[in-house]
């Protein structure tokens, strides 16, 4: 039988997976590079592994939600990401969806089933 | 940064990058280096990182193949879930049919020319069968892998799915008429392979064969004429196997399946007449050679001669009756099968 701890970890991961994109988009109103984003999110209580975030940033960029630019003037070259126009629109939509979802789920989990 | 730390970083970055599409490689490589640098710095502050530090950081990033897979975004399969079921079915049929074909071919060839050393002959035959099966496996797998590789879209996406198309749960009465049992077409395929082997490799075995000291063969067919007709005969046998494949894959009779089978049957009927009705393909000297080989006078009697003369007609007529009745049965079952699909049973 599967270990209960494994099942819990797995379910938690699944629960977080869909929300990561929203978290990332929320921080990218200004250009940021990947590792700064990891730290910022971690300080906000959302831990995301760099090995997950970096590919995600690229995917969002290829989908047109993010724009990127290499910043080479500093001590080391870094790729800065920011929400594109389309990303802005989609971010707003997702925020609305999130509000609806949390309201519904709040009701479900705080009321007893009939 | 010490040389060792740099080397480990380089090796890691290279191992990730080489698994990525060329176009993205440089960019990802550069970004990944920056990331590792940032992670090291977060770990050690302004102290130079040690080998332990870089090891910990790379472990945190995960296995190169996993990281590269995340960058690619898609899973890669030799044969993915879309094709797996049909691949498995085809593989089983091909392995079964070619296995039986190989066994028969080897038995026949060993009987025809008895080997000097029985043990080494068995070992050789066994090796031959194994390598034949491995080849069959390889061909099927390569074919499906190519389809998987070049078909980006799932084949099922194209076909609109409608619950109406679900096969009905068969009830006891209809089961026998409409559901195609797998045994018959599989037997048909096996006989098809046997037929191909015999007609192409050892046609003389059809006839009177004695394998005592000397191998005596009195073939039923005129082997020269048979050879010139080989293409048509192969087409005939392959059509039969196509029919069996169709039955096997369809699994039950519908009007479409039945009409296809009927069309194949008509083609086979015509080929059968063209190939076997003209007397030329039959061995004109069959009876006299048989008499010479056995000394039985009955073979050269008038009755036997007359029988031999009408034999082609009898064979063709019997085969034709077979095709016609098979067509009739198939159509009947197809019509039942399709009316059963609809509202009226």
Quickly state the pLDDT bin for B156 (edges 50, 70, 90). low
Give the CATH number of the domain where residue A56 resides.
1.10.10.10
Q: Is residue A7 part of a domain?
A: no
* pLDDT at residue B168, as a whole number: 67
Average pLDDT over residues B295-319: 87
Give Cα B270 distance to the centre of its chain. 27
Question: How far out from the chain centre does Cα B227 lie?
Answer: 26
Predicted local confidence at residue B339, as pLDDT: 65
Taking CB atoms and an 8 Å cutoff, what residues of chain A touch B71?
Answer: 54-55, 58
Provide φ and ψ at B215, rounded to 5°: -80, 115
Q: Are B29 and B11 in contact (CB under 8 A)?
A: no
Q: How far is B38 from chain A (nearest CA, A)?
A: 7
Query: What pLDDT, on a 0 to 100 scale, did the predictor assign at position B340?
Result: 55
Nearest to B20 by CA among B85, B57, B66, B83: B66
Q: Do A79 and B31 touch (CB under 8 A)?
A: yes
| Cβ partners under 8 Å of residue A48, min gap 6 | A20, A23, A24, A38, A41, A42
Q: A58 vs B38: CB contact, 8 Å cut-off?
A: no
pLDDT > 70 fraction of chain B, expressed in percent and rounded: 89
Using an 8 Å CB-CB cutoff, list chain A residues near B34: 33-35, 76-79
Contacts by B293-297, CB closer than 8 A, 24 or more apart = B293/B208, B293/B210, B293/B216, B293/B218, B294/B208
CB–CB of B219/B204 below 8 Å?
yes
Give domain limits for chain B: 3-72
Mean pLDDT of chain B: 85
Partners of B17 on chain A (C-beta within 8 Å) are: none
The stretch B317-335 carries a mean pLDDT of 91
What is the arithmetic mean of pLDDT over B291-308?
A: 84
> pLDDT at position B297, please?
82
Residue B51 pLDDT > 50: yes
Distances (CA, A) of B57 to A27, A57, B39, B63, B68: 24, 20, 7, 11, 16
Model pLDDT, residue B158 = 66
Percent of chain B at pLDDT > 90 equals: 34
Left (φ > 0), alpha (ψ -120 to 50) or beta: where does B73 sit?
left
Q: What number is the average pLDDT over the span B180-207?
A: 86
* pLDDT level of residue A25 (50, 70, 90 thresholds): very high
User: Which helix (DSSP H) or strand (DSSP E) does residue B207 occupy?
Assistant: strand B207-211
CA dist., res. A44 & res. A22, Å (int) = 14
Does residue A9 sit within a domain?
no
Q: Is B252 helix (H, G, I), strand (E, B) or coil?
A: strand
User: pLDDT per residue over A40-99, tens digit each?
Assistant: 999 999 989 999 999 999 999 999 999 999 988 877 889 999 999 999 999 999 999 999
**Number of folded domains that form chain A:** 1
**What sign does the CA torsion over A30, A56, B68, B64 have?**
positive
Asked which of A25-29, B59-63, B160-164, B166-170 is least confident by mean pLDDT, the reply is B166-170
- Range of the structural domain that residue A91 is part of: 21-110
Q: Which helix (H) or strand (E) element contains residue B175? A: helix B172-178
Q: How far apart are CA B81 and CA B236, in angstroms?
A: 36
**Alpha-carbon distance A77 to nearest alpha carbon in chain B (angstroms):** 7
Contact partners, residue B298, CB within 8 Å, separation at least 6: B304
Residue B342 has pLDDT above 50, yes or no: no
- Chain A partners within 8 Å of B60 (Cβ): 49-51
Predicted confidence (pLDDT) per residue in B113-135, tens digit: 666 777 777 777 788 888 989 99
Is pLDDT at B341 greater than 90 in this prediction? no
In chain B, the residue whose alpha carbon lies closest to the alpha carbon of A81 is B31
Burial of B162 (0-12, 13-18, 19+ CB in 10 A): exposed
Compute the distance between CA of residue B258 and CA of residue B23 in angstroms, rounded to an integer: 52
- Chain A's closest residue to B16, CA to CA, is A51
> Is residue A16 domain-resident?
no
A98, A102, A103, A104: CA torsion to nearest 10: 100
- Residue A2 is assigned to a structural domain of this protein: no
Q: Which residues of A touch B (CB under 8 A)?
A: 33-35, 39, 49-52, 54-55, 58-59, 70, 76-79
């Amino acid at each position: 039988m599967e270990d209960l701890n494994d099942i819990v970890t797995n379910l938690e991961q699944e629960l977080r997976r869909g929300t990561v994109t929203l978290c990332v988009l929320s921080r990218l109103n200004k250009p940021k590079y990947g590792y700064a984003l990891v730290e910022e999110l971690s300080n906000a209580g959302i831990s995301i592994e760099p090995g997950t975030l970096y590919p995600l940033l690229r995917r969002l960029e290829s989908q047109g939600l993010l724009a990127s630019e290499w910043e080479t003037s500093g001590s080391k070259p870094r790729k800065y990401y920011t929400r594109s126009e389309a990303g802005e629109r989609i971010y707003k939509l997702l925020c609305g969806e999130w509000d609806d979802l949390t309201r519904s789920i709040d009701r479900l989990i705080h009321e007893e089933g009939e | 940064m010490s040389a060792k730390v740099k080397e480990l970083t380089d090796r890691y970055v290279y191992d990730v990058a080489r698994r990525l599409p060329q176009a993205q490689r440089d960019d990802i490589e550069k970004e990944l280096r920056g990331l590792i640098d940032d992670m090291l710095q977060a770990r050690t502050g302004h102290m130079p990182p040690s080998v332990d530090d870089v090891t910990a950081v790379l472990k945190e990033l995960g296995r190169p193949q996993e990281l590269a897979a995340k960058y690619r975004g898609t899973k890669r399969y030799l044969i993915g879930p879309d094709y797996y079921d049909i691949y498995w079915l085809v593989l089983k049929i091909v392995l079964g049919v070619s296995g039986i074909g190989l066994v028969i071919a080897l038995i026949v060839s060993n009987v025809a020319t008895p080997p000097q050393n029985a043990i080494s002959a068995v070992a050789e035959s066994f090796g031959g069968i194994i390598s034949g099966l491995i080849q069959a496996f390889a061909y099927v797998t390569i074919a499906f892998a190519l389809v998987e590789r070049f078909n980006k879209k799932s084949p099922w996406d194209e076909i609109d799915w409608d619950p109406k198309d679900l096969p009905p749960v068969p009830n006891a009465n209809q089961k026998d008429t409409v559901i195609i049992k797998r045994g018959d077409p599989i037997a048909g395929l096996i006989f098809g392979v046997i037929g191909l082997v015999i007609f192409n490799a050892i046609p003389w075995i059809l006839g009177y064969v004695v394998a005592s000291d000397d191998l005596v063969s009195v073939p039923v067919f005129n082997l020269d004429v048979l050879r010139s007709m080989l293409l048509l005969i192969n087409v005939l046998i392959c059509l039969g196997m196509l029919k069996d494949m169709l039955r096997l894959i369809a699994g039950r009779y519908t009007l479409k399946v039945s009409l296809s089978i009927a069309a194949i049957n008509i083609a086979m009927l015509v080929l059968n007449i063209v190939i076997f009705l003209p007397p030329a393909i039959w061995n004109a000297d069959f009876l006299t050679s048989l008499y010479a080989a056995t000394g039985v006078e009955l073979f050269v009697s008038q009755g036997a001669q007359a029988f031999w003369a009408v034999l082609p007609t009898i064979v063709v007529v019997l085969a034709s009756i077979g095709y016609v009745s098979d067509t009739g049965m198939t159509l009947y079952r197809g019509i039942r099968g399709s009316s059963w699909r609809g509202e009226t049973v």
